[in-house]
Amino acid sequence: MTGGKGFARLIAVVAALAAFYVFIYLPVAVLVLFSFHAGTVPVPPFEGPTLEWYAEVLGNGRVTDGIFNSILVGALSSLLAAGLGFLAAYGMARHSPPGSTVIQAAIMMPLTMSYLVIGLGLLILFSSLGFGKSLWLVGIGHVVINLPLCFAIIVSQLGGHQAALERAARDLGASEFQVIARVTVPLIWPALFAAFCLAFTFSWDEFVIAFLLTSFDVTLPVVIWSMLRTGLNPETNAAGTLVFLVSLAVAVAFELAISRRKGTSP
């Protein structure tokens, strides 16, 4: 292969990748750019920059309440999803009860259904039981959609080398609860944390279930949706940019958890 050909090939690869990245980053760039737009109407051409809309959005009680509610729902539902997912994964991996494939399929089922179908089902269930709409119901729904993901992540990490350590602990007289608390959980912390982070980002950005199951106290995506329907200004862009930053932080934490695990496995 001649150097010229290799170089041409390199250029082609870089150009192709660049084209993809432009496509992928186009809306994000425009979104962030117009969050600094000085006019009240976020349409081209761009004027500015100004930080006015960030001040506005952080001073907006509905947005800050929404952020707070989203963190609350996200944290609690993801903890529960990761917890239930862990228990199920542990049970499957260590006790392998008969009918494993059926059980696994049952746990994974919500992953194959639209959030809309799940949300409407919960709306009907709770309204026929006479429960009022609330953030708790949203949390329940988010556990439903995130449980399969957490289960899948954790079950793939419950490998044989932990089993050996667990057996050793049991042989030394530890009860099963002690084994889980002292051996299993510390060993697979990164997987649990990764599952939690992933579940959190899904909950944080989930709209339709939250929209159907809340009334006054709503999560951030519902606030953003109503901002979008009720006022044309770059505040929406600023809110979107802030959401991006928060999700990014969680995603980076997730990434670190994954790479730590990789880096430390023998």
Please give the residues from 94 up to 123 whose contact with other proteins meets the rule CB under 8 A. Answer: 94-98, 103, 106-107, 109-110, 112-118, 120-123
- Interaction with other proteins in 174-203: which residues (CB under 8 A)? 176, 186-187, 189-190, 193, 196, 201
Examine residue 147 and tell whether it contacts other proteins (CB under 8 A). yes
Tokens 């709503």 map to which residue? 218
Residues 184, 162 contacting (CB under 8 angstroms):
yes
By CB under 8 A, what part of segment 201-220 binds other proteins? 201, 205, 207-208, 212, 215-217, 220
36 belongs to the binding site for other proteins (CB under 8 A): no
Residue 81, C-beta contacts closer than 8 angstroms, at least 6 positions apart:
142, 143, 146, 147, 149, 150, 195, 199
| Dihedral pair phi/psi, residue 217, rounded to 5° | -80, 115
In 10 A of CB 117, how many CB atoms?
11
Binding residue for other proteins, selected from 11, 51, 55, 228, defined by CB under 8 A: 228
Per rule CB under 8 A, count of chain residues that contact other proteins: 117
Site string for other proteins, 56-95 (x = CB under 8 A): ---xxxx-----x--xx--xx--x----xx-xx-xxx-xx
| The two three-digit tokens of residue 30, written as one number | 């425009």
Nearer to other proteins, 51 or 68 (CB): 68
Supply the DSSP symbol for 113.
S
CB 197 within 8 A of CB 249: no
Task: Say whether residue 230 binds other proteins (CB under 8 A).
Answer: yes
Instruction: Return the structure tokens found at 23.
Output: 């496509």
Task: Output the smallest distance, CB 188 to other proteins, in A.
Answer: 10
Question: What residues numbered 37-56 form the site for other proteins, per CB under 8 A?
Answer: 39-45
